[in-house]
């Protein structure tokens, strides 16, 4: 049976996407599923729900206070440094546009984790071109060429298309996990349930290598 | 060390409170914690957050569609019958006022589970006095006397006071778990984390019986 691939949908401004990004690979390996990282933009989906463009954690005060405490607890359990970004949410479009290019080239997960760490552990302003350039350079990549391609009209349109795909899947928050049969699981805390679902509903692929 | 007591805050209109109510006792027994059932009214807390009085699952369409699927999956995993109530949310104040009296008399958990099953498995209109009377009678209780006391001005004020207590604890949704040191955990999916927290942060009670 081929290893099922679960899509991990994340948004750089999303607090719960941070611990999810730092545990998804280990948890997937433990379950024996493959993960495809899928960056998207959450703002347009808030708008589609008729919500303010700002984070719900800002315009719902008690929920916001709870979220900061909850994410701090989750990160402590994972031995993951955590400091709330200021301001929150951070502008995430530039990083998302760059991550799309990384999906093609295979450095998206490494880039995404570096951006999340810069944002949620180191307090870096990830909306700034210089911060993203520094992360790309640290990964041994050509920052100038990537940033030029990332901010092209074509690539901006690509992020809109991908975000429309997320909307079509029923996504309204982040992070999410979508199984090969299209089942949606919302939240860092549903990662394991999504992987279990993917394994329980995996189709047998004729000629597929066992566990392959 | 005395067994720590975790407060389980629930609201009869809350979909996720249903599976939580039906698993909380077994999970608490497994962890070795005690549970105190605490009914409250969620509507006033939505209002305090500046939200519409209606369920967020009604005015956020994609989130609502997801919730129905998610709760159906959770109930299937628990072998718990589930059918979305119509209309949703059901009027929950009468049941909440009755449950408060059950907290004093010790039949609150049995009553709450019966109400949740009537609402989310059997499609009963739990806002109707006759439905609640039937549940009380089935429990061997004096339905008329209890309903009279439940709808007294004093008991209505008590529900408002308790809901204010929930607000003061930081509660904004349901269900919730609050540990003896005041730590808030929101959601059926945080039950285990709350119990782990309560055990890890339990104070040693001088003279307390081991595990007692």
In a domain, A35, yes or no: yes
**pLDDT beyond 70 at A74:** yes
> B185 to chain A: nearest residue by CA?
A70
Tens of pLDDT, residues A102-120: 999 999 999 999 999 999 9
CA–CA separation, B67 vs B84, rounded Å?
A: 11
Helices A129-138 and A108-120 pack at an angle, to 10 degrees, of: 130
CA–CA separation, B207 vs B200, rounded Å?
A: 19
With contact defined as beta carbons under 8 Å apart, do A38 and A67 qualify?
no
Read off the pLDDT of each residue in A63-92 and give the average, rounded to a whole number.
Answer: 98
pLDDT at A211: 46
In a domain, A33, yes or no: yes
Rounded to the nearest angstrom, the minimum Cα separation between A81 and chain B is 20
Tens of pLDDT, residues B155-208: 999 999 999 999 999 999 999 999 999 999 999 999 999 999 999 998 754 444
In a domain, B149, yes or no: yes
pLDDT at B53: 86
CA–CA separation, B97 vs B92, rounded Å?
A: 9
Residue at token pair 């699981």? A185
Domain with B93 in it: what CATH number? 3.40.30.10
In a domain, A206, yes or no: no
- Burial per residue of B65-80, b for 16 or more beta-carbon CB atoms within 10 angstroms, e otherwise: ebbeebbebbbeeeeb
CA–CA separation, B206 vs B212, rounded Å?
A: 12
pLDDT at B207: 44
| Record: contact A172-B60, CB cut-off 8 A | yes
Read off the pLDDT of each residue in A17-28 and give the average, rounded to a whole number.
Answer: 98
In a domain, A195, yes or no: yes
Read off the pLDDT of each residue in A12-39 and give the average, rounded to a whole number.
Answer: 98
The verdict on B47 touching A (C-beta cutoff 8 Å) is no
Contacts of A131 (CB under 8 A, 6+ apart): A118, A124, A125
Q: How many domains does chain B have?
A: 1
Interface ipTM above 0.90: yes
DSSP B34-90: EEEEEE--SHHHHHHTT--SS-HHHHSHHHHHHHHHHHHHHHHHTT------SSSSP
A84 lies in which domain range?
A: 5-200
pLDDT at B1: 63
**pLDDT beyond 80 at B99:** yes
Rounded to the nearest angstrom, the minimum Cα separation between A45 and chain B is 9
CA–CA separation, B202 vs B182, rounded Å?
A: 11
Share of chain B above pLDDT 90, in %: 92
Contacts of A77 (CB under 8 A, 6+ apart): none
In a domain, A58, yes or no: yes
pLDDT level of residue A202 (50, 70, 90 thresholds): confident
More confident residue, A205 or A158: A158
| Record: contact B184-A66, CB cut-off 8 A | yes
Rounded to the nearest angstrom, the minimum Cα separation between B69 and chain A is 9
The verdict on B203 touching A (C-beta cutoff 8 Å) is no
In a domain, B209, yes or no: no
In a domain, B20, yes or no: yes
pLDDT at B2: 82
């Amino acid at each position: 049976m081929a290893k099922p691939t679960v899509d991990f949908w994340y948004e750089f401004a999303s607090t719960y996407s941070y611990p999810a990004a730092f545990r998804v690979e280990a948890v997937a390996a433990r379950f024996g599923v493959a993960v495809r990282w899928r960056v998207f933009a959450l703002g347009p989906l808030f708008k589609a729900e008729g919500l303010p463009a700002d984070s719900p954690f800002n315009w719902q005060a008690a929920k916001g206070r709870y979220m900061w405490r909850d994410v701090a607890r989750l990160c402590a359990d994972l031995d993951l440094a955590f400091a709330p970004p200021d301001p929150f949410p951070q502008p995430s479009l530039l990083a998302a546009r760059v991550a799309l290019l990384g999906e093609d080239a295979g450095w998206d997960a490494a880039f995404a984790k570096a951006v999340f760490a810069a944002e949620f552990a180191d307090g870096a302003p990830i909306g700034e071109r210089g911060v993203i350039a520094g992360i790309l350079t640290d990964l041994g990549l050509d920052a100038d060429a990537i940033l030029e391609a990332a901010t092209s009209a074509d690539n901006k349109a690509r992020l809109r298309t991908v975000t429309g795909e997320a909307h079509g899947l029923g996504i309204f928050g982040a992070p999410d996990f979508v199984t090969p049969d299209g089942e949606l699981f919302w939240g860092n805390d549903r990662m394991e349930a999504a992987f279990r679902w993917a394994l329980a509903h995996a189709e047998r692929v004729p000629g597929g290598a066992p566990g392959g």
